Structure 1
Amino acid sequence: MRSGTVRRIRSRATAFAVALLLPIGLLVGLATPAQAAESATATFIRTSQWDTGFGGQWTVENTGDTTLTDWELEWDFPSGTTVGSHWNGTVTRDGDHYTATPASWNADLAPGQSATIGFNGTGTGEPTGCTVNGEPCDGSGGGDPSDEAPSAPGGLTVGSATDTSLTLNWSAATDDDGVARYHVFRNGTEVAAVTGTSYRDTGLTPGTEYAYAVTAEDTAGQVGPAGATVTASTTSDGGGDPEPPADGHVKLGYFTEWGVYGRDYDVKDIDTSGSAEKITHINYSFGNVTGGKCTMGDSYAAIEKAHTAAESVDGVADTWDQPLRGNFNQLLELKAKHPHIKVLWSFGGWTWSGGFGEAMQNPAAFAESCYQLVNDPRWEGVFDGVDLDWEYPNACGLSCDSSGYSSMRDMMQAFRAKFGDQLVTAAITADASDGGKIEKADYAGAAQYTDWYNVMTYDFFGAFDKDGPTAPHSPLRGYDGIPQEGFNSDAAIQKLKAIGVPADKLLLGIGFYGRGWTGVTQSEPGGSATGAAPGTYEAGIEDYKVLKNSCPTTGTVAGTAYAHCGNNWWSYDTPETIHGKMSYAKDQGLGGAFFWEFSGDTTNGELVTAIDTGLS
């Protein structure tokens, strides 16, 4: 996890606060209490840092006692430090002076409420001259600059730990006015304000790591810098937590329920390809979301279809009277042979996401229905948790949703409460464009309840734009001529990290297929087209195992490969480009990688092998 830098901005250069070194996204919204009926403060945090730039975030808090109906944030950056892409509002520039205004949904702040505006920037400079609605961002109103904020509390340590609690202790801070209270932050969210120098945090999840920081507030209402951040884990009650892979990374593949039909891909193929020993998790896709609850997709494929001896993992044919057949029984056989594998039941997907909005009218009942289905005694032992593939909360996919910004957080909180120490994960958007889908829902708030996110860093471009321009469907980074800014894997990862999602809860997505156009005469990306290239199952899409022979690669761009053969143009990942993406995942401290889906790989699992060796 990278460190970030937080600074409280005063109107005088002599009154800058001390930098805080924190993990990514930790500690947002440290603001001075109200000075007047209408008062607001703003704090700045560097959420991430890389070779050419940084992720930045402003948190504006209403510290008054009346609703703030609109706000405008202004600051200066020194020459050479600039703002690029931004989210949760609008940022404009006039020379080195910047003005940020909120989106429609975060313009009104009730007393005590806060809103954030994030951005990616370049340079090393820090903001100066910060004002909110024309007043200094520290809430002082231009008061006595000699009145210093408290020092950072020292010596933060974790004492006793149980399955659901952690005890924190720290040394007292010093201040010229005297310390009134301490603010305790867990994973960037304040969880307590106490007068002493210890705190017991309860209601936690067994076997889970948490990050803590503490700040001091003086009797004048000034909040000082945080002391050193510490991480600690609750103890495990022995159930549900996955065995970590040898290299510490999650390596997850989707198995499609319908693949046993036309694709003729069985659970046994995960074993015979050599992939089973190289993965850690399987997402079984998909269950449906309808009528406000989780339901089975294709019950015949899942629990009824009889497998012959040649189709079975254990080499024994199913019988007509055995209590469980189908894919579920095969998954049990696979887990018996490879006990390190954990399986999650994934609900939703592109086609079946339309029911999430109705289900979220009662999140607790929705979670209860899914828990009962996943843990049905008829297939006991198959599943180790649930994956929620909502495309997309408070945004549009196959259909549009208007559940609200908090919908993602509310869902994951309800599922964590119900599923306890079982795995709870989600597949999420990789749209990092300005105003894009990452901004539409509270993915950062939901992350505290989530074991990890499968970031769908593929399908950025394809023949759904039939005229082109041709572009790689899974670019790792941006490149000159990319059709849409923010449509690349790195942009998505950086934006999610910038808003506070821990890097080790992000899995990089890999497609085991290509997307292609026809009517293309230009070999390099950016050419025009006349439509989708022919595909085995769907125009414009083809498996890697087919493309590697039918249309071998002719070049690479943005960390992935492309191929021009005849008048067709395809982009897809190869073992070589996957190795590059896995190096990126390790460099960024990501939790691992996942892929869609097993049947696109070769019979000897070339792409799974590349993920495994690339993360090792």
Structure 2
Amino acid sequence: MEVSSKVQIFNIRLFLFICMYSSQKLIFISIIASKQRSFLLNLLPCLRKPKPFKYFSFPPSFSLSNSMSLPAKLWLKALTVTVTSSNSAQFSSFTQTVQQKNPSVKTLLSIGGGGNDTIADTFASMASQPSRRKSFIDSSINLARSYNFHGIDLDWEYPDTTTHMTNFGTLLTELRAAVANESQTSGNTELLLAAAVFRSADYYTINYPIESISNSLDWINVMAYDFYGSAWNSSRDRTGPPAALYNATASQVNGDAGITSWVEAGLGADKIALGLPFYGYAWRLLNADEHGLFAPADGPADGPAIRTDGSINYKDIRDFISQNGTQTEYNATVVTNYCYSGTTWIGYDDTQSISAKVSYAKQKGLLGYFSWQVSGDDNDWALSQTASTTWG
């Protein structure tokens, strides 16, 4: 991206994360934060009742119905991260608010996000030059400290060239050095560092900088979902398990293969958090009588809670099931749930899949799990409670 002499401003996503973290295990749940104080204080039983090691994340937005960006700015000329004055109060009170129920909770500031090429392009531009990286790093640390966060998380989706991956590794190395230096100078505990990454250790054959990731980050959040989507050209003509843990076919993308690739690339399992989706994708079946996995379909189904990309939150899936007498299925071989009614078919993770995946994370010695996003859970927190209970 060319940077002109004129200041250019791009919206980026700035998220808030809360956690109960220890060096032993991590449980990380992504939810939409609300301006309402009562929501933050009454989030989940596992937040209200302190446990040895839990981790939660809050991407903040102004309602529980969407997950768009909080209006933060990355000034492209200076490449510094700032919070607009209209959002300063929300950032200032966030850590104090969530710690009222449990002082052990930690908060992280996450910068970036998916679904927007401008965000990825801005990351690439920033990471390409030392001076730009320094401006970004310094402003990120200052922002985290100013608002009393305990860490920084980067969400670059995705470094998609060898050069971008190299620059990403350099960015992480320099960020870790800057965080250590700031801690030594200020006397504060070092900020936690994390990053959201692709499902596997390579982004379509372009390898992640494993050594830099291992040496610089406290953990990575592996986005083990969005394998199939009803609006995508690659999968709109067949139903599919959006976040399968295992293979259904020899060529099928799956979470286990991704996690294995990270470990085989040299990253410790105890630095990996497994991603869990609290949403699914809805397809329109070509024939209502063909309703299994990989059944013929024709793009996204229609429905009041189904977005244009075919995605639908778990809580809305449960409503669809109860309102339509929908048939539900669980495939334990693949580890996925799906339901169908008429020509509407939805692939998603229900409590069986969530329990199986959290058990998998424990068995593999992973640091923990995270979800995108808890605002998609139902009113009884069925998925969140299942995950927490399964982990123990």
- Range into which the TM-score falls when normalised by the shorter chain: 0.7 to 0.9
5 Å-filtered alignment, 1:366-515, equals 366-376=136-146, 379=147, 381=148, 383-393=149-159, 395=160, 403-420=163-180, 421-431=190-200, 436-437=203-204, 439-465=206-232, 467-480=236-249, 484-485=251-252, 487-515=253-281
Conserved 8 A contact 1:288-1:348? no
Does the C-alpha gap of structure 1 residues 474 and 548 become closer, same or farther in structure 2, counting only changes over 3 Å? same
Question: Once the two structures are superposed, what CA deviation does each residue of 1:502-523 show, in whole Å capped at 9, x if it has no partner?
Answer: 0000000001111111234321
Aligned amino acid, residue 514 of structure 1? G
Residue 533 (structure 1) shift: 2.1
Give the aligned residue type for 2:22: P
Q: RMSD between aligned alpha carbons? A: 2.7
Partners of 2:359 and 2:73 lie apart in 1 by: 35
Q: Name the structure with the higher helix share.
A: 2
Cα drift, residue 608 of structure 1: 1.3
- Residue 374 and residue 438 in structure 1: after superposition, are their counterparts in 2 closer, same or farther (change >3 A)? farther
Tell me how far 1:368 sits from its aligned partner: 1.0
Number of residues of Structure 1 aligned to a counterpart in Structure 2: 332
1:615 aligned partner: 391
Hey, what's the Cα distance between the residues in 2 that align with 1:459 and 1:267?
A: 32
Cα distance between partner residues in 2 of 1:515 and 1:412: 34
TM-superposed CA distance for 1:437, in Å, is 3.6
Pair 1:359–1:266, CA change in 2 (3 A): farther
Q: Is the contact between residue 250 and residue 281 of structure 1 (CA under 8 Å) also seen in structure 2? A: no
Distance 1:374 1:596 in 2: 22
For residues 269 and 553 of structure 1, what CA distance do their matches in structure 2 show?
Answer: 35
Pairing 1:164-313 to 2, within 5 Å after superposition: 243-244=21-22, 248-256=24-32, 268-269=39-40, 271-277=42-48, 279-284=54-59, 289-291=74-76, 293-296=79-82, 300=86, 302-303=87-88
> Deviations 1:185-208 (Å, cap 9, x if unpaired)?
xxxxxxxxxxxxxxxxxxxxxxxx
Whether contact under 8 Å (1:426, 1:453) holds in the other structure is yes
Report SS of the residue matched to 1:525: coil
Q: Could you say which residue in structure 2 is the equivalent of 1:531?
A: 299
2:358, 2:351 → 1: CA distance? 10
Alignment-derived partner of residue 344 in structure 1: 108
Alpha-carbon separation, structure 2, partners of 1:608 and 1:384: 23
Q: 1:365 aligns with which of 135, 151, 169?
A: 135
**Aligned counterparts of 1:593 and 1:452: Cα–Cα separation in 2:** 11
- Structure 2: which 5+ residue stretches go unaligned? 1-18, 61-68, 181-189
State whether residues 444 and 499 of structure 1, in contact with CA within 8 Å, keep that contact through their aligned partners in structure 2.
no
Residues of 2 paired with 1:472 and 1:424: CA distance? 31
| Local SS of the residue matching 2:158 | coil
Paired residues of 2:313 and 2:377 also in contact (CA < 8 A) = yes
- C-alpha distance in 1 between matches for 2:46 and 2:378: 10
Paired residue for 2:123, among 356, 364, 369? 356
1:101-121 CA-to-partner distances (Å, cap 9, x unmatched) read xxxxxxxxxxxxxxxxxxxxx
**Which residue in 1 is equivalent to 2:66?**
none
Give TM-score, length-normalised by structure 2. 0.77
Q: Write 1 or 2 for the structure with the bigger share of strand.
A: 1
CA distance in 2, matches of 1:267, 1:492: 38
Match for residue 592 of structure 1?
368
SS in 1 for 2:297: coil
The one-letter amino acid paired with 1:293 is: L
Distance change >3 Å, CA 543–CA 270, structure 1 → 2: farther
Inter-partner Cα distance in structure 2 for 1:606 and 1:507: 20
Correspondences of 1:55-204 after superposition (within 5 Å): none
2:285–2:295 CA contact under 8 A, matched in 1: no
Offset at 1:543?
1.0
Give the aligned residue type for 1:523. Answer: H
| Corresponding residue SS for 2:45 | coil
Give the Cα–Cα distance (whole angstroms) in 2 for the partners of residues 333 and 422 of structure 1.
20
Give, in angstroms, the shift of residue 270 of structure 1: 6.2
Shift of 1:276: 1.9
1:479 CA drift (Å): 1.2
Which one scores higher on RCO, CA 8 angstroms, separation ≥ 6?
Answer: 2
CA distance in 1, matches of 2:348, 2:152: 29
Q: How big is each residue's C-alpha offset from its partner over 1:450-499, in whole Å with a ceiling of 9 and x where there is no partner?
A: 0000000010111132632110110001112x7x54x2110110000001
| Cα contact 1:462–1:471 (8 A) shared by 2 | yes
Do 1:271 and 1:334's aligned partners in 2 also have CA atoms closer than 8 Å? no
Calculate the TM-score normalised by the size of structure 1.
Answer: 0.50
